[in-house]
């Protein structure tokens, strides 16, 4: 059969196209396999780790409002932490008995000794905290999709528990408090992040009202830093007028008093709660 020049041209194009496809596919497959097989780094596996004592709270707080506004339930897997965002999930493990639970941050605390977490009663029991009052634990931030409740201990528990300070600092370790013979003898290697405080001068559904108050405060006292924090509640937008950010709550209270004297009534809030 004799091929015309036109047919030869089309056949050549098809062959070139097929060659390009067969050449590209293995490369894409190799790239995909490389991404899938690339091992996770130690830093990623320990991006947020806390080591220190955890305590618990239960019956005496049942039904009380927590810092995020919900009612405390000692039979739900929740915990208190000083600064982590509400809703953060943690896998908390007692290295001595190998038991782990996943809890959700819903409250602020603890504010006694150098403790890093307060767990609800149901979460504290498997870790032997209810019986002992407070025990040394390892806590890691886990994905928000992680189910709450008892879970498997981390495979690298020994490393999480015994890594040297130098190794821990290579990651983004949040807290490291080494237990002594008594809580008073605990050694703070890496302190827990300290909370910060602001004055919330007003909350508005209309951002123009927030901008108006922001302008008013800045005109009254140019030394103050005034910002607008936008969020939503029940699907409705909110604009909060925020004054300053202070490491000391007493300093925030002093600014609140100064604003009141200028005709602006506000409230002191922990910045991490906004």
Q: Which residue has the tokens 């320990």?
A: 46
Examine the pLDDT at 171 and tell me if it is beyond 70: no
The answer on 148 and 182 residing in a single domain is yes
Note the pTM of the prediction, 2 decimals.
0.75
pLDDT tens, position by position, 86-114 = 999 999 999 999 999 999 999 999 988 89
Dihedral angle, C-alpha 152, 153, 156, 160, nearest 10 °:
150
> What integer pLDDT is reported at residue 53 of this predicted model?
96
Please tell me whether residues 145 and 161 are part of one structural domain. yes
- HEC string of the chain equals CCCCHHHHHHHHHHHHHHHHHHHHHHHHHHHHHHHHHCCCCHHHHCCCEEEEEEEEECHHHCCCECCCCCECCCCCCEEECCCCCCCCEEEEEECCCCEEEEEEEEECCCCCCCCCEEEEHHHHHHHCHHHHCCEEEEEEEECCCCCCEEECCCCCHHHHHHCCHHHHHHCCCCEEEECCCCHHHCEEEECCCCCCEEEEEEEECCHHHHHHHHHHHHHHCCCCCEEEEEEEECCEEEEEEEEEEECCHHHHHHHHHHHHHCCCCCEEEEHHHC
d(C-alpha 96, C-alpha 162), whole Å: 12
In this predicted structure, the answer to whether residue 1 has a pLDDT above a threshold of 90 is: no
In a domain, 12, yes or no: no
Together in a domain, 126 and 236: no
Residue 34 lies in a domain: no
Residue 178 and residue 252 in one domain: no
What's the pLDDT tens digit per position in 208-221? 999 999 999 999 99
User: Is 30 a domain residue?
Assistant: no
CATH number at residue 186: 2.40.40.10
Give the span between the Cα atoms of 153 and 130, in whole angstroms: 19
For residue 216, what is the domain's CATH number? 3.30.70.1070
pLDDT at 233 over 60: yes
The better pLDDT of the pair 140, 18 is held by 140
The answer to whether residues 155 and 123 belong to one domain is yes
- Residue 15 within a domain: no
Q: Do both 70 and 203 map to the same domain? A: no
Distances (CA, A) of 108 to 11, 114, 270: 72, 14, 10
Q: Count structural domains, the chain.
A: 2
Is residue 121, in this structure, part of any structural domain at all?
A: yes
77 domain-assigned: yes
Domain that holds residue 140: 43-190
Instruction: For residues 219 and 43, give the distance between their C-alpha atoms in angstroms, rounded to a whole number.
Output: 47
How much of the chain, in percent, has pLDDT values that exceed 90? 68
- Answer yes or no: do 155 and 56 share one domain: yes
Residue 157 counted as domain residue: yes
Among residues 146, 168, 190, the one where a domain terminates is 190
- 84 pLDDT band (50/70/90 cuts)? very high
Same-domain status, 178 and 227 = no
Q: Is residue 38 included in any domain, yes or no?
A: no
Residue 38 has pLDDT above 50, yes or no: no
């Amino acid at each position: 059969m004799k091929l015309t020049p036109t047919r030869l041209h089309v056949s050549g194009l098809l062959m070139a196209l097929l060659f390009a496809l067969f050449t590209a596919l293995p490369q894409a497959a190799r790239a995909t396999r490389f991404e899938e097989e690339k091992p996770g780094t130690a830093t990623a596996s320990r991006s947020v780790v806390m080591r220190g004592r955890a305590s618990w709270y239960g019956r005496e707080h049942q039904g009380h409002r927590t810092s995020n506004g919900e009612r405390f339930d000692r039979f739900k897997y929740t915990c208190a932490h000083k600064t982590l965002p509400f809703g953060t999930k943690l896998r908390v493990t007692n290295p001595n008995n190998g038991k782990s639970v996943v809890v959700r941050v819903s409250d602020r605390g603890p504010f006694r000794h150098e403790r890093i977490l307060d767990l609800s009663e149901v979460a504290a029991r498997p870790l032997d905290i209810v019986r002992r009052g407070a025990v040394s634990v390892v806590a890691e931030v886990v994905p928000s999709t992680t189910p709450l409740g008892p879970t498997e201990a981390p495979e690298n528990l020994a490393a999480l528990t015994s890594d040297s300070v130098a190794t821990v600092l290579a990651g983004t370790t949040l807290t490291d408090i080494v237990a002594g013979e008594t809580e008073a003898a605990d050694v703070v290697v890496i302190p827990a992040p300290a909370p910060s405080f602001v004055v919330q001068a007003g909350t508005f559904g209309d951002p123009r009202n927030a901008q108006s108050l922001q302008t008013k405060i800045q005109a009254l006292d140019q030394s103050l830093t005034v910002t607008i924090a936008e969020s939503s509640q029940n699907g409705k937008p909110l604009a909060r007028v925020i004054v300053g950010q202070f490491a000391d709550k007493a300093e925030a209270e002093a600014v609140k008093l100064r604003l009141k004297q200028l005709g602006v009534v506000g409230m002191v809030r922990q910045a991490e709660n906004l």
